Amino acid sequence: MSEAQPLAQHESETPDEQHDDVPTMPIPARKVVTTFDAASKHERIEIKPPLTRLFRRLVTGVFDVWLKFSTKLVRNLGWYPRVEPYVGYGTEHYSRLICRTVYGPFKRQAGRLTRGIRGMLTVPSPRTKVRIAIDGVPLETMQVGASEVFDAVDQNPEVASELVASDSAGYLDLVAEHSLEPGIHDVSYRVRSRKPVKANLFTIPSGTKVGVISDVDDTIMVTQAPSLMRAAYNLLLLDPKKKAPVAGMNLLFNRIADMFPDAPFFYLSTSPWNVESSIRHLITNHGFPEGPLLLRDLDPRPKTFIPTGVQHKLEYAEQLMADFPEMKFILIGDDGQRDPTTYATIARRYPGRVLAIAIRQLSPREVTGNLGTVAGRIATQPIPVTDVPVFTGTTGSNIMKTMLPYLRATQYGSRDGVGF
């Protein structure tokens, strides 16, 4: 798994505001192996059977052809590169910043709420130069991802700092080293001919003791993932404003937030980055605690191809464990995919680091619906066998009845030197 990296937030500035007379000290950003390009030893193509390697090369070849065709098409339509910024996180000493450069009409704004099918057809703008600042302070940026070469300073008078270029699929993944106060900060991204865009940067105190890692599909948002056709409809065709939260889960999350006021919430999902705006809309509009979304890149890469859902969640969980070595995590998921097994694996690999596991149990109708389940797939997963307490229920309210008393007892125990 790659080394942790901060994500940035965008800040709206007019071109005139970009030339501030107040001198600022640039924030250094170091090159890292990105999550998107860093295949684990189990995922690298070199260890795969010959037929698998051939299939992956064919798929990546077809994707490259589509990328060249679509890029030429949108350029002929007069589209320009723009930035899709994603919420970032970090500590007082560093921040992980992630964004993506894509093509769009000149008046199209970043973060616009669209149906999933439109998001999936997004055309990436590879190797596009981006100007980044945290709270108005520019980053000393460098190339990341697939490139190994530093960018020279752009002498264009509209650009006041060095630029960093996105990778071959439009992603940009950075670690910025700095001193920031805990809280929510602004990160701004700007590409040529576009206004700056913003995203939140959650700066988490390095001594925070408890954090939450939650799945999204069928944990906080109704997706019906075990039913292939229903899941496809909910992901691709359903109006994002009509996406429904799982009953009682926002109440559970807010009770946890009340119990642990400093706890960060990380939303870890196998959904693609293309639908980030619709998931963010549900989190905000249904009262879930705000926090970074850690999604999956579905563009096939030569080194990583498309990571499996389990591998994606394990790698990001390991990333968070490394980012916050003193933090214990509450893991929340559902039994419609592989969350029970995945969370048991995390608890086994990191003894003493998982405080509790909550598994939301899907109803029979959610599992099968009227349209059938994914071929060859078990509808639900059994409750994990682990030394960590596991709490189950069909709604957030059900889980809350047993989980909150345990967390409260653990919290009080810690004050007496017994718990975490």
Q: 196 with 135, same domain? A: yes
What pLDDT is attached to residue 299? 63
**Is residue 30 over pLDDT 60?**
no
User: What is the pLDDT confidence band of residue 203, given thresholds at 50, 70 and 90?
Assistant: very high
Most confidently modeled of 132-141, 146-155, 299-308, 400-409? 400-409
Claim to verify: residue 191 and residue 115 sit in the same structural domain: yes
Q: Residue 4 — very low, low, confident or very high, per pLDDT cuts 50/70/90? A: very low
Of the candidate ranges 149-153, 165-169, 212-216, the one whose mean pLDDT is the lowest: 149-153
Name the residue with higher pLDDT: 337 or 394.
394
Whole-number pLDDT of residue 386: 81
Same domain, 169 and 81: yes
Nearest to 274 by CA among 302, 246, 240, 243: 240
Write down the pLDDT at residue 111.
58
Could you tell me if 180 and 96 lie in one domain? yes
The torsion region of residue 199 among left (phi > 0), alpha (psi -120 to 50) and beta comes to: beta
> 242-293 pLDDT, tens per residue?
888 999 999 999 999 999 999 999 999 888 777 888 889 899 999 999 999 9
The pLDDT tens digits for 110-123 are 656 666 566 667 88
Give the whole-angstrom CA distance, residue 144 versus residue 368. Answer: 43
Q: What is the pLDDT of residues 75-118, one digit of tens each?
A: 999 898 999 999 999 988 888 888 999 998 877 666 566 665 66
* pLDDT score recorded for residue 302: 52
The answer on 218 and 171 residing in a single domain is no
List the structure tokens of 205. Answer: 């105190």
Specify whether 198 is located in the same domain as 306. no
Contact 202, 98 (CB under 8 A): no
User: Is the same domain home to 103 and 233?
Assistant: no
Structural domain includes residue 173: yes
CB atoms within 10 A of CB 235: 23
Same-domain pairing of 269 and 398: yes
Beta carbons within 10 angstroms of residue 313's beta carbon: 27
Model pLDDT, residue 103: 92
Would you say residue 49 lies in a domain? Answer: no
What's the per-residue H, E or C state across 241-289? Answer: HHCCECCCHHHHHHHHHHHCCCCCEEEEEEEEHHHHHHHHHHHHHCCCC
Residue finishing a domain among 156, 184, 203: 203
pLDDT score for 214: 96
How many other CB atoms are found less than 10 A from the CB of residue 200?
21
**Which residues contact residue 158 at a Cβ distance below 8 angstroms, ignoring those fewer than 6 apart?**
15, 18, 192
Question: Higher pLDDT residue, 420 or 73?
Answer: 73
**Domain limits for position 297:** 210-415
- Residue 289 φ/ψ region, left for φ over 0, alpha for ψ in the -120 to 50 degree band, beta for the rest: beta
Domain boundary among 203, 228, 249: 203
Does the residue 233 lie in any domain?
A: yes
The residue-averaged pLDDT of 8-21 equals: 38
Shared domain for 169 and 249, answered yes or no, is no
Burial pattern 136-158, b for ≥16 Cβ within 10 A else e, equals ebbbbbbbbbbbeeebeeeeeee
pLDDT at 144: 45
Distance, in Å, from the CA atom of 214 to the CA atom of 290, rounded to the nearest integer, reads 12
**pLDDT classification of 179: cutoffs 50, 70, 90:** confident
* Predicted TM-score (pTM) of this structure: 0.78
CA distance 176 to 89: 11
Which residues, at least 6 apart from 381, have a Cβ–Cβ distance to it below 8 Å? 335, 336, 337, 338, 339, 340, 341
Is 51 inside any structural domain? no
Specify whether 319 is located in the same domain as 356: yes
pLDDT of residue 66: 84
Average pLDDT estimate for 59-73: 85
pLDDT of res. 403 = 96
Name the DSSP letter for residue 419.
-
pLDDT for 169 equals 81
Residue 97 placed within a domain: yes
State whether 325 and 400 are in the same domain: yes
Number of Cβ atoms within 10 Å of the Cβ of 379? 15
pLDDT, greater one: 343 or 29: 343
Q: pLDDT grade, residue 229 (50/70/90)? A: confident
Average pLDDT over residues 196-211: 92
Higher-confidence position of 373 and 173: 173
Q: What is the CATH number of the domain that holds 220?
A: 3.40.50.1000
The pLDDT tens digits for 371-403 are 444 433 445 566 767 889 999 999 999 999 999
Q: What is the CA radius of gyration of the chain?
A: 21
Q: What pLDDT is attached to residue 83?
A: 93
Structural domains of the chain, count: 2
The band of 149, judged by pLDDT with boundaries at 50, 70 and 90, is very low
184 and 221 share one domain: no
Mean pLDDT score of the chain: 76
Rounded to whole angstroms, the Cα distance separating 83 from 32 reads 20
Highest mean pLDDT among 144-158, 168-182, 220-234, 292-306: 168-182
Cβ count near 303 (within 10 Å): 14
Predicted local distance difference test score (pLDDT) of residue 250: 96
Domain C-terminal end among 187, 203, 219? 203
Asked if the structure places residue 54 within a domain, the reply is no
Bridge-partner residues for 103, per DSSP?
A: 81
CA–CA dist 257, 265 (Å, integer): 9
Please tell me the predicted confidence (pLDDT) of residue 220: 93
Q: What are phi and psi of 26, to 5 degrees?
A: -60, 145
**pLDDT for res 264:** 96
